[in-house]
C-alpha cells in the first residue's frame, strides 16, 4: 500500500521542473508506479500528485457515486478531470509542472513537498511557513474527533 510521509523543500527551475524528493521517488519506483496525475487541490491552494494506481481508484470512486445520465453530475466529473493532467517522471526523478498549475497556486521557485497518505502535495514554500490550523483549534478538533469515535 502506498503511503507518503514527510515535509521536504525543493526548487522549481525556470521551466517548472522539480526533483521529486528521493524518499518519495523511491517509494513510487518500488511500487512500480508508471505515471502520476497532477491536479490542483479542491480545498487548499496546493497541487496534488496522485500515483497512477491511486488516481484510478479515485476516479472509480467518484464515477461510482455519480449518475452519468445526470447533466449536473457529469459536469462535476468533467470539471474534476479538466483540472487534472498526466505527467511522467524523467530518468533523473524530475517532473515538469505546466506553468498554468504553478500560477494556480502561486509557486515561483521554492516549494514544499508534503506526504499526505496516498498522495503528495506540492505547496509554495511560504504557504507552509505558518500552521494551516491554529494549534489550539487543531488540538481541540483532534480531541473531539478521537473521543467521539466509537
Using CA atoms, how far apart are residues 81 and 76, in angstroms rounded to an integer?
Answer: 9
Model pLDDT, residue 83: 87
Using CA atoms, how far apart are residues 142 and 7, in angstroms rounded to an integer?
Answer: 21
CA angle 12, 15, 19 (to 5 degrees): 40
- What is the model's pTM? 0.91
Alpha-carbon torsion 129, 8, 1, 56, what sign?
Answer: positive
Model pLDDT, residue 24: 95
Domain boundaries 4-147, corresponding CATH code: 3.40.1550.20
Return phi, psi of residue 98, to 5°: -55, 145
Model pLDDT, residue 131: 86
Which secondary-structure segment (H or E) carries 18?
strand 17-19
Cell of 102: 504553478
Cell of 2: 502506498
Tell me how crowded residue 57 is: count the other CB atoms within 10 A of its CB: 13
Model pLDDT, residue 44: 94
Which secondary-structure segment (H or E) carries 10?
strand 4-11
* Per-residue pLDDT tens digits of the chain, which is 150 residues long: 789 999 999 999 999 999 999 999 999 999 989 899 999 999 999 999 999 999 999 999 999 999 999 999 999 999 999 989 999 999 899 999 999 999 999 999 999 999 999 999 999 999 998 888 899 999 999 999 999 866
Model pLDDT, residue 1: 75
Amino acid at each position: 500500500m502506498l503511503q507518503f510521509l514527510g515535509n521536504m523543500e525543493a526548487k522549481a527551475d525556470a521551466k517548472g521542473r522539480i526533483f521529486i524528493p528521493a524518499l518519495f521517488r523511491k517509494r513510487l519506483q518500488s511500487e512500480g508506479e508508471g505515471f502520476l496525475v497532477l491536479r490542483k487541490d479542491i480545498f487548499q491552494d496546493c497541487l496534488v500528485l496522485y500515483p497512477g494506481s491511486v488516481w484510478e481508484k479515485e476516479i472509480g470512486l467518484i464515477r461510482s457515486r455519480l449518475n452519468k445520465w445526470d447533466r449536473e453530475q457529469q459536469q462535476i466529473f468533467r470539471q474534476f478531470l479538466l483540472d487534472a493532467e498526466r505527467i511522467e517522471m524523467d530518468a533523473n526523478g524530475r517532473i515538469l509542472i505546466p506553468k498554468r498549475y504553478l500560477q494556480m497556486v502561486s509557486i515561483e521557485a521554492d516549494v514544499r513537498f508534503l506526504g499526505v497518505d496516498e498522495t503528495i502535495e506540492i505547496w509554495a514554500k511560504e504557504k507552509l511557513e505558518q500552521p494551516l490550523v491554529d494549534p489550539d483549534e487543531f488540538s481541540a478538533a483532534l480531541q473531539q474527533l478521537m473521543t467521539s469515535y466509537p
